[in-house]
Structure 1
Amino acid sequence: MIQTLDFQIDALKGMKNYPEKLYYIGNLDLLQSKKISVVGSRKPNQYARNLTQELCSKLSLVDVKIVSGGAIGIDAIAHKSAGAKNTIMVAGTGLDTRYPAVNKTLIQDIENNGLVLSQFEAGVASRKYNFPLRNELVVALGDALVVAYADENSGTMRSVEYALKMNKPIYVFPHRLGESKATTELVKQGLAKVIYDIDEFIAQYGTVKKDEKLDEFLEFCKTAPTYEEAIMKYASEVFEYELLGKIKIYNGKISINYCP
């Protein structure tokens, strides 16, 4: 059920204009946790997908919530990797619409187990000028911003502009020459720090307990990798987990089998 937020969020006071109204579905307690905003391209390379998956999965183990925009690409990978209960999604439409439709199941899962926010009332459809407003809200909610992959002049860089205005720390991954040129430029200009070691980055937020260690292969499968991608990285696990019924392979894609 769509509800209206009846209190102000301190983190949003750094926005140019505090939203007139905020609507939500889900668990407001997530707003009290440490939060990292994660943004990036809708078409990242596999390297960025893998690092985003690892980062967000491990952040969730130290009770850091992931904030993103629910779009295809990096947004969806971030949400899935953290798990719905560790996710705050900021929508660019009214909450009566699950947009984009391809992420409908993911968004519904976040509604049921995490938190979905929007500054747009029910009935407001997807419009181009909604998304810069959404991006500002995504950035404002986080204690820091991670830009996983971004091309030059991409929409993702609008989020960087907001982060700079709000004095938010900005982090990027170390990419190869010619890839994610916009994040490389941020590093050259001294505007972003590079995450060279994910475990070291996670350590500033908490320590993962021994009994909470990730099954890295299953976490990888949350990103819906192709069969070929999975074989290249986890050949033995693919065969073992398929035999155990933990994963399923369909149309060249691997997913987790949630059936008992």
Structure 2
Amino acid sequence: MTVVLHDHIASLEAMRKYPKALYYRGNLQLLNSVKLSIVGSRRPNPYTQQMTQQIASRLAVAGVCIVSGGAMGVDGIAHTAAGAGKTIAVLGCGLDIRYPAVNASLLVSIEKEGLLLSPFKDGFKTTNWSFVVRNEIVVALGEALIVTQADVNSGSMRSVEYALKMGKKIYVIPHRAGESEGTNRLLAEGKAEAIYDIDAFVSQYGEAARCADDPFLEFCRSNPTYEEAVRSYPQEVFQYELEGKITVTAGKIAVL
């Protein structure tokens, strides 16, 4: 069932205009996760498919939530590789519409385990401008933007424009000359950084990086019992659980 989201999402303040309404289906706790946005071509080449899959899956394993637009191509690959429970899909239509049809089963899985978001109420069908709004939300939600393949005149490059205006870091994967000319141009102009080593990149945003600056999260990585955590960090336990940074399962603490 579609629900109106009343909570304020601070990262969306970076948009040109905060959405008049937001609707959701799924797990709102994912909004409290470290999030990275992944966008790209709807017809990615085999190299892009492989790299998108590897980047999204390794980020998800490291505790990062993947945000994308639910479209075919790079979007669908990123959502699938992250796993339905570790991804947010922002749609350019009402949440009761499974669009595109090729991703219908994926969107059902994300609704059950992850999070679907839309600024459009049920029944609203996609338009050119609704995709523009969707793209801006996708960029705003993530701490940084990853573009795995894009032509110069493409929707993904429009997302890059939003990221630049919002002051977000932009990452791309290196392509051969004549391929993905949009991302190659970003590299040439110094507007993006290339991902050459996936593990090194993931280490910048994954759970270990977050824990290194947070003694309580570092403590929680050892999976202490709930009682041990309360004894050592009584205030943090309740605060972090409320914020969705940790979870308690079978009497033990785990980092989300």
TM range (shorter): 0.7 to 0.9
Using the TM superposition, give the Cα deviation of residue 96 of structure 1 relative to its aligned residue in structure 2, in angstroms: 1.2
| AA aligned opposite 1:95 | L
Q: Which residue of 2 aligns with 1:114?
A: 114
Alignment of 1:148 with 2:148, yes or no, is: yes
- Let me know the Cα RMSD of the aligned residues: 0.9
| AA aligned opposite 2:191 | L
| AA aligned opposite 1:19 | P
* Percentage of identical aligned residues: 56
| AA aligned opposite 1:153 | N
Q: In structure 2, how many angstroms separate the alpha carbons of the residues matched to 1:162 and 1:207? A: 27
Secondary structure of 2:65's aligned partner: strand
Alignment of 1:41 with 2:45, yes or no, is: no
Q: Structure 1 residue runs of 4+, over 3 Å off?
A: none
Q: In structure 2, how many angstroms separate the alpha carbons of the residues matched to 1:134 and 1:207? A: 28
Q: Which residue of 2 aligns with 1:21?
A: 21
Q: In structure 1, how many angstroms separate the alpha carbons of the residues matched to 2:206 and 2:182? A: 30
Alignment of 1:191 with 2:195, yes or no, is: no
TM-score after normalising by structure 2: 0.80
Q: In structure 1, how many angstroms separate the alpha carbons of the residues matched to 2:43 and 2:123? A: 28
* Structure 2, unpaired ranges of 5+: 209-256
Secondary structure of 1:204's aligned partner: helix
Residues 94, 125 of structure 2: 8 Å contact kept: yes
| AA aligned opposite 2:91 | A
Alignment of 1:94 with 2:94, yes or no, is: yes
Q: Which residue of 1 aligns with 2:80?
A: 80
Q: Which residue of 1 aligns with 2:60?
A: 60
Q: Deviations over 1:40-60 (max 9, x none)?
A: 000011001000000000000
Q: In structure 2, how many angstroms separate the alpha carbons of the residues matched to 1:128 and 1:26? A: 26
Using the TM superposition, give the Cα deviation of residue 206 of structure 1 relative to its aligned residue in structure 2, in angstroms: 3.1
Q: In structure 2, how many angstroms separate the alpha carbons of the residues matched to 1:9 and 1:206? A: 21
Q: In structure 2, how many angstroms separate the alpha carbons of the residues matched to 1:97 and 1:44? A: 24
Q: In structure 1, how many angstroms separate the alpha carbons of the residues matched to 2:20 and 2:205? A: 32
Q: Deviations over 1:195-250 (max 9, x none)?
A: 01001001112368xxxxxxxxxxxxxxxxxxxxxxxxxxxxxxxxxxxxxxxxxx
Q: In structure 2, how many angstroms separate the alpha carbons of the residues matched to 1:156 and 1:206? A: 24
Q: Deviations over 1:122-160 (max 9, x none)?
A: 111011111010000000000000001001111111100
| AA aligned opposite 2:22 | L
| AA aligned opposite 2:151 | D
Secondary structure of 1:108's aligned partner: helix
Q: Which residue of 2 aligns with 1:170?
A: 170
| AA aligned opposite 1:110 | I
Q: In structure 2, how many angstroms separate the alpha carbons of the residues matched to 1:55 and 1:90? A: 19
Relative to 1, partners in 2 of residues 1:55 and 1:128: Cα closer, same or farther, differing over 3 Å? Answer: same
Q: In structure 2, how many angstroms separate the alpha carbons of the residues matched to 1:206 and 1:173? A: 19
Q: In structure 1, how many angstroms separate the alpha carbons of the residues matched to 2:103 and 2:201? A: 29
Using the TM superposition, give the Cα deviation of residue 101 of structure 1 relative to its aligned residue in structure 2, in angstroms: 1.0
Secondary structure of 2:187's aligned partner: helix
Q: In structure 1, how many angstroms separate the alpha carbons of the residues matched to 2:205 and 2:93? A: 32
| AA aligned opposite 1:54 | Q
| AA aligned opposite 2:132 | P
Secondary structure of 2:205's aligned partner: coil
